[in-house]
């Protein structure tokens, strides 16, 4: 630890990096040394930062200009180690139990494929994406921007599943998905299991998905079957889902009761605090610099980034190169893929040599403007501060 | 040859396969035995049919339900062996010469990235896709449906490149792209080089692309820089482009003069015949059967497929399960990605045990209906016959 701190101090005079940039660069250098875990060995290592076997982030510079994030560059976040690779060998045979409905049923993926098909382009983002920028240094993975991607999930609407099972039991207020992770013997399942509840109002666009980006969902992303709730943070999109239940109460699992809540600084997490469900409006710049502290050559540059509205589409993005003093409207790149997808944006700027702070600020169709400051909370969730995501750039 | 023909006859009584289905199944079995070439070794072998090192097709059953074809499942077609992998090691350094403009220039990819950015979802399809269904058995790769994919190319509009180079010289009628393939010593370059011309009217949506599906274009798909002409067949999208020239004449290269023309049956190919440029309206079914001769279980099934209009979007798709006697309108799946992209379609059908012939028929926004019969031509180009692409299915 002393050595690491010493390194930051020693670098302070070099290249004019801010202490935060340096700390992040160091964090990144450490992470890059880690190898991809076996279940994600097929991913593109150069595009990723491996924080741990269960937390893998896309580099800011690796997002590229496509509309959809390629699977081999998509982040991975598991709350518990994934089940055996065997479960994706025969996806059609996977069974999900539908409960809290008038006709409870066990349905295979093959059964589900006969009920209907939708394809939903959507942002998949870890609740803690941007945690690295919280000054309180909350525990948890120090994600910068890359615990997010825009993917296409294909599957059957939850509404069609409900139609095939007689509909929800009267009075149901929550839909609860249970993940297929193996619970180690002797542990209280509630302390380990990944079981998340969302309000039934949110199920209109939710699906049970067997494909991501046109491929059977790989184990790393929750295959053979994943609950997908567009607009909601990653944890609510339950992987390897084995049970979908409708009922009056939220799950008793710890991950629902005592985690993923907007806990005020200094307080203990409890069930009365707001659950981390919907994503707020957000944007960040990805190019031409990509990584903190990089230098770029003077002249016309195309400043690019990504913007999404959470529960409604991004309507507008502005870009600032002077740390938010003045803003210029950016253009969207490519077609609108629907309200849950992100938009790429671009704006041409003629930059003379000097130092710049490049920020972006999105506004959603719902009229919400991305804020300058993050919402303070003790676990570092839902960071959408434009200032936190700003890049310091030297133009030479 | 005799043995192969004998095999077809021997199988004729088994499973009720049509002779064509059997021939295709055999062709496929032979092809599957071939390994992926080194430059495409990162592709998903199980989703592909390797006809040769330069001709690799996506299996009909591997298209999946995503909107965009994943790169590792996308077909490959090279007219000449690709250059060394070294050319994609530093994409920004690649140089393209812009000629036939008021200010001719050599531009690097890094230079191009400063000029602008667009992202275009579009069908990329080999001119000879569907050649396997021509009864005249034209020479060339026996593609069935899989020499096609829908991808997102990102790059700079040709119009922005023209703006940066003073505009076309007066009187230019064609834009000619020259590929970076190595020409073997001692050969007349015109007989080997991949140099294609398109009418300047078609350049409005054309781009010089450095990314495909959000990644730097790999060598297999024409990286580091590819000319992309949305709506035009694959060969017009020149790989590893090293020169872009505007002028009064079409290229003198053999691939422009004496190839890729709609040659009437029995005639010799010549420059007066129509060049293979624009793609016609087309669709085909991909699921639930996928592969010819497969059996499916009775009950409700979701019949899926892909449809595109060529130069305008697909407006409507109908599906028939009785070989085209009656038709039912299908629904589109997911958002419209623009006029050059394909649409997935789906229709639920309750199928009793029996034999079915499943076909799809698309209509473009321009009002053109996919025809029952292909346009006869001696090289097997532009097959968009709905009958040729029909699947014989046994429901049990």
Of A38, A62, A86, the last residue of a domain is A62
Q: Which residue has the tokens 């000319």?
A: B227
**Of A330, A214, A342, A65, which Cα lies nearest the Cα of B153?**
A65
Q: How far apart are CA A231 and CA A342, in angstroms?
A: 11
Cβ–Cβ < 8 Å for A93, A111: no
**Chain A: nearest CA to B346, how far in angstroms?**
7
Across residues A118-141, what is the average pLDDT? 97
**Of B277, B8, B299, which Cα lies nearest the Cα of B125?**
B277
Residues of B in contact with A122 (CB under 8 A): none
Size of interface A-B (CB pairs under 8 A): 136
Q: How far apart are CA B396 and CA B355, in angstroms?
A: 9
**pLDDT confidence bin for A4, thresholds 50/70/90:** very low
Check residue A34 and give its pLDDT.
Answer: 87
In the structure encoding, which two tokens stand for residue B185, read together?
């010593």
Which of A113, A117, A208 is the best substitution to test chain B (most B C-beta atoms within 10 A)?
A117
Q: Looking at residue B316, which CATH number applies to its domain?
A: 2.60.40.650
Across residues B355-363, what is the average pLDDT? 96
In this structure, are A131 and A86 located in the same domain?
yes
Across residues B45-73, what is the average pLDDT? 95
> Using the beta-carbon criterion (under 8 Å), do A344 and B288 form an inter-chain contact?
no
Q: How far apart are CA B385 and CA B361, in angstroms?
A: 9
Q: Is residue A68 part of a domain?
A: no
**Of A60, A53, A59, which Cα lies nearest the Cα of A76?**
A53
- H/E element holding B247? strand B241-247
Q: Is residue A67 part of a domain?
A: no
Residues 6+ apart with CB under 8 A from B382: B127, B130, B233, B262, B276, B279, B280, B374, B375
Across residues B163-185, what is the average pLDDT? 96
Q: Is residue A273 part of a domain?
A: no
Of A62, A85, A100, the last residue of a domain is A62
Check residue B243 and give its pLDDT.
Answer: 98
Check residue B199 and give its pLDDT.
Answer: 97
Cβ–Cβ < 8 Å for B77, B237: no
Q: Which residue has the tokens 């009793």?
A: B352
Q: Is residue A349 part of a domain?
A: yes
**Chain A: nearest CA to B297, how far in angstroms?**
11
Alpha helices (H) along A64-211: 109-113, 158-164, 189-192
Output B27-31 pairs: Cβ under 8 A, ≥24 positions apart.
B27/B132, B27/B142, B28/B291, B31/B57
Cβ–Cβ < 8 Å for A330, A315: no
In this structure, are B249 and B286 located in the same domain?
no
In this structure, are A19 and A150 located in the same domain?
no
In this structure, are A54 and A82 located in the same domain?
no
Q: Is the pLDDT of residue A290 over 90?
A: no
In this structure, are A130 and A234 located in the same domain?
yes
**Chain B: nearest CA to A359, how far in angstroms?**
19
Output DSSP code: residue B248. S
**pLDDT confidence bin for B147, thresholds 50/70/90:** very high
For A65, A290, A357, A384, the CA distances from A393, given in Å and listed in that order, are: 20, 10, 6, 20
Q: What is the pLDDT of residues A41-87, one digit of tens each?
A: 999 999 999 999 999 999 999 999 989 999 999 999 999 999 999 99
Q: Is the pLDDT of residue B2 over 80?
A: no
Check residue A14 and give its pLDDT.
Answer: 32
In this structure, are A116 and A237 located in the same domain?
yes
Q: Is residue B24 part of a domain?
A: yes
In this structure, are B146 and B234 located in the same domain?
yes
> Using the beta-carbon criterion (under 8 Å), do A70 and B67 form an inter-chain contact?
no
Measured from the Cβ of residue B265, the count of other Cβ atoms closer than 10 Å reads: 10
Cβ–Cβ < 8 Å for B92, A146: no
Residues facing residue A394 across a β-bridge: A295, A355
Q: What is the pLDDT of residues B251-275, one digit of tens each?
A: 999 999 999 999 999 999 999 999 9
Q: How far apart are CA B261 and CA B276, in angstroms?
A: 5
In this structure, are A47 and A119 located in the same domain?
no
Domain span holding position A18: 2-62
Q: Is residue B43 part of a domain?
A: no
Q: What is the pLDDT of residues B7-28, one digit of tens each?
A: 333 333 233 344 455 555 555 5
Q: Is the pLDDT of residue A271 over 50?
A: yes
Check residue B28 and give its pLDDT.
Answer: 57
Phi and psi of B243, rounded to 5°? -150, 140
Q: What is the pLDDT of residues A335-388, one digit of tens each?
A: 999 999 999 999 999 999 999 999 999 999 999 999 999 999 999 999 999 999
In this structure, are B236 and B160 located in the same domain?
yes
In this structure, are A57 and A99 located in the same domain?
no
Q: How far apart are CA A193 and CA A259, in angstroms?
A: 12
Q: How far apart are CA A369 and CA A338, in angstroms?
A: 19
Tally of domains in chain B: 3
Q: Is the pLDDT of residue B335 over 50?
A: yes
Q: Looking at residue B190, which CATH number applies to its domain?
A: 3.90.420.10
Across residues B186-215, what is the average pLDDT? 95
Q: Which residue has the tokens 């050059």?
A: B340
Residues of A in contact with B109 (CB under 8 A): none
pTM for this one?
A: 0.91
Q: Which residue has the tokens 């990089």?
A: A294
In this structure, are B384 and B306 located in the same domain?
yes
Across residues B134-161, what is the average pLDDT? 97
Q: Is residue A132 part of a domain?
A: yes
**pLDDT confidence bin for B378, thresholds 50/70/90:** very high
Across residues B129-153, what is the average pLDDT? 97
Of A31, A62, A93, the last residue of a domain is A62
In this structure, are B14 and B87 located in the same domain?
no
Q: Is residue B310 part of a domain?
A: yes
Across residues B360-367, what is the average pLDDT? 98
Q: Is the pLDDT of residue A200 over 50?
A: yes
């Amino acid at each position: 630890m002393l050595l690491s701190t010493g390194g930051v101090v020693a670098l302070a005079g070099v290249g004019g990096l801010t202490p935060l940039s340096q700390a992040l660069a160091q964090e990144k250098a450490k992470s890059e040394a880690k190898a991809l875990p076996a279940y994600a060995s097929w991913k593109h290592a150069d595009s990723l930062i491996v924080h741990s076997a269960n937390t893998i982030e896309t580099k800011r510079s690796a997002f590229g200009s496509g509309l959809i994030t390629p699977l081999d560059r998509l982040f991975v976040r598991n709350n518990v180690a994934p089940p055996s690779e065997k479960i994706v060998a025969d996806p059609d045979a996977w069974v999900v139990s539908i409960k809290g409905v008038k006709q409870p049923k066990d349905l295979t993926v093959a059964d589900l494929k006969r009920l209907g098909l939708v394809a939903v382009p959507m942002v998949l983002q870890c609740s803690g994406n941007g945690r690295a920028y919280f000054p309180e240094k909350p525990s948890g993975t120090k994600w910068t921007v890359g615990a997010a991607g825009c993917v296409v999930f294909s599957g059957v609407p939850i509404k069609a599943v409900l139609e095939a099972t007689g509909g929800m039991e009267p009075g149901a207020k929550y839909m609860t998905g249970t993940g297929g992770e193996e619970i180690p013997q002797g542990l209280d399942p509630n302390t380990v299991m990944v079981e998340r509840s969302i309000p039934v109002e949110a199920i209109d666009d939710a699906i049970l998905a067997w494909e991501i980006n046109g491929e059977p969902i790989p184990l790393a992303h929750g295959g053979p079957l994943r609950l997908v709730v567009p607009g909601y943070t990653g944890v609510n999109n339950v992987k390897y889902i084995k049970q979908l239940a409708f009922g009056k109460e939220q799950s008793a699992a710890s991950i629902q009761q005592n985690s993923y809540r907007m806990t005020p600084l200094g307080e203990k997490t409890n069930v009365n605090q707001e659950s981390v469900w919907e994503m707020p409006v957000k944007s960040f710049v990805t190019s031409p610099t990509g990584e903190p502290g990089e230098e770029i050559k003077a002249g016309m540059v195309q400043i690019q980034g990504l913007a999404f509205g959470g529960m409604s589409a991004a309507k507008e993005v502005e870009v600032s190169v002077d740390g938010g003093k003045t803003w210029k409207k950016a253009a969207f790149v490519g077609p609108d893929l629907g309200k849950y997808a992100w938009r790429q944006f671009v704006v041409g700027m003629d930059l003379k040599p000097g130092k710049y702070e490049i920020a972006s600020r999105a506004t959603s169709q719902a009229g919400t403007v991305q804020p300058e400051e993050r919402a303070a909370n003790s676990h570092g969730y839902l960071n959408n501060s434009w200032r936190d995501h700003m890049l310091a750039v030297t133009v030479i």
